[in-house]
Amino acid sequence: MAGTARLGTGVEGGVGLTALMVAAARAIETRRPDALAQDVYAEHFVRAAQASAHWPVHPRQVPDGDADPLWGRLGRYFGLRTRVLDDFLLRSAHTGTSQVVLLGAGLDTRAFRLDLPPGRTVFEIDQEDVLAFKQRVLDRLGAAPTARRVTVAADLRLGWAGALTAAGFQPAEPTAWLAEGLLLYLPRDAERGLFAAVDGLSADGSTLAYEVKLGTESAAVRANPVYSAARNRIGVDLLALFDGEPRPDSAGDLSERGWSASVRTPFDFSRHHGRGPLPEPDDALGGNRWVFAHKSVP
């Protein structure tokens, strides 16, 4: 079953299960002596869901360390991605954006763990059941957000802009938008619609970061141990979830709409930070790109 048909299957199935996988990776990263990111809530999400209760949440539970294709290499990728996007949001907040919108927020806890400037609002958009699961766990922990936090239950394949503005979002204010681990699962038309909506809601000075995967992967790449380990060990078939349609040139589309966009590889940041995955033959991460955009109206 394609990922686009499973976006609404809940926090323990389909894309919801990938949110738990990323949470486990963040939990492991948090406990590393050379951690790139800290998320003290991540392990609690993993332990609260029956499907993931036995997954590792500490480096000592990963016997092969960074050599492990799932919790080592892919896990370090998620840790690196978390750090890079944390830095993006903090830079945006300190240079003028007053709102943050997390598109497909999943088990993201940036509203609780980032030191955002006073007066910022974080909007989290996702399926109702995912948001409810996250809230139950956070409530049990007595977690308090560091910024004003507003959750918005909506399907990002459909019209969601109205729900966001009804929740108090201000289109006239500069916004930092984040789509972390989302676009890989959306049909191309839904991706185009998402960016059109983001552009229409973005004031001058808004920023956007998102992740895409370029091209069609070869049979050798699809056989990479990252994919087989996720499928065989935790039941996450990433290849079945990824939407198989040719991807639109979203960075080019944003440029035509007045945004400046920079396209980077994850390996650029591995080298910058001195840790994280580096290229390998038939790499499952080789087609991944992180895009950073800024809107400047003439």
Average pLDDT estimate for 113-137: 95
User: Coil, helix or strand for 79?
Assistant: helix
- pTM of structure: 0.93
Given a cut of 50, is residue 254 above it in pLDDT?
yes
Given a cut of 60, is residue 15 above it in pLDDT?
no
Q: Cα 93–25–275 angle (5° rounding)?
A: 75
Residue 249 φ/ψ, nearest 5 degrees: -85, 80
Q: Which of 144, 146, 154, 96 is nearest to 124 (CA)?
A: 154
Neighbouring C-beta atoms of residue 214, cutoff 10 Å: 12
Task: Write the pLDDT tens digit of every residue in 16-26.
Answer: 889 999 999 99
User: What pLDDT, on the 0 to 100 scale, is given for residue 202?
Assistant: 97
Given a cut of 90, is residue 216 above it in pLDDT?
no
Where residue 168 falls (left for φ over 0; alpha for ψ -120 to 50; beta otherwise) is left
Handedness of CA 99, 100, 103, 109 (dihedral sign): negative
Domains and CATH numbers, the chain: 3-295 (3.40.50.150)
Where residue 276 falls (left for φ over 0; alpha for ψ -120 to 50; beta otherwise) is left
In this structure, are residues 250 and 291 in contact, taking their beta carbons and an 8 Å threshold?
yes
In this structure, are residues 6 and 13 in contact, taking their beta carbons and an 8 Å threshold?
yes
